[in-house]
Amino acid sequence: MGFRLHIFGFVLFILFSCQLILAQTKKQDFRQLLSEVETQEQILAKCQPSRMRISHFCYDFCPTNLVKPRYPAEAKRLRLTGSVKVEVIVDEEGKVIYASVLDGTPYLSQAARQAAYRSTFYPARDCENKTIKFRGRIIYHFY
């Protein structure tokens, strides 16, 4: 019996260690991704003047499919309303590869984050007309 507990404890230790390594790897991957996006933004800022959004036309952050989030049943039951701000990183093909909630009610945040991941955007282009990763913010309103 003691031997089985010892083996079980060892297996739990190995699983826990693997989870820690995986979490650190994800943090490193995100840091690398963010660094890459920031570098591309700095290069783009040098060769293009800052652009503005014009009515019925967009320049910097144009969605091809902005998915509307599902209103969570529990939030409806509690009559929660409000806005959720989500920051996204979009790859060269226009797909959201990272979404993080910056501000908003926890009951609504998960639905907003999931909708952001399902949204797509026109790819951004650098000064040499190559597609690049970029980031932007989406604000979802729940009423």
Q: What is the pLDDT of residues 14-47, one digit of tens each?
A: 555 455 444 445 566 778 888 888 888 787 777 7
Percent of the chain with pLDDT over 70: 71
Sign of CA dihedral 64, 91, 83, 58: negative
Q: Which residues contact 71 (CB under 8 A, 6 or more apart)?
A: 111, 142
The third-level CATH classification (topology) of the domain covering 2-142 is: TolA/TonB C-terminal domain (3.30.2420)
How far is 86 from 122, CA to CA, in rounded Å? 18
Q: Is the pLDDT reported for residue 94 higher than 80?
A: yes
- Report, as an integer, the average pLDDT of 100-120: 94
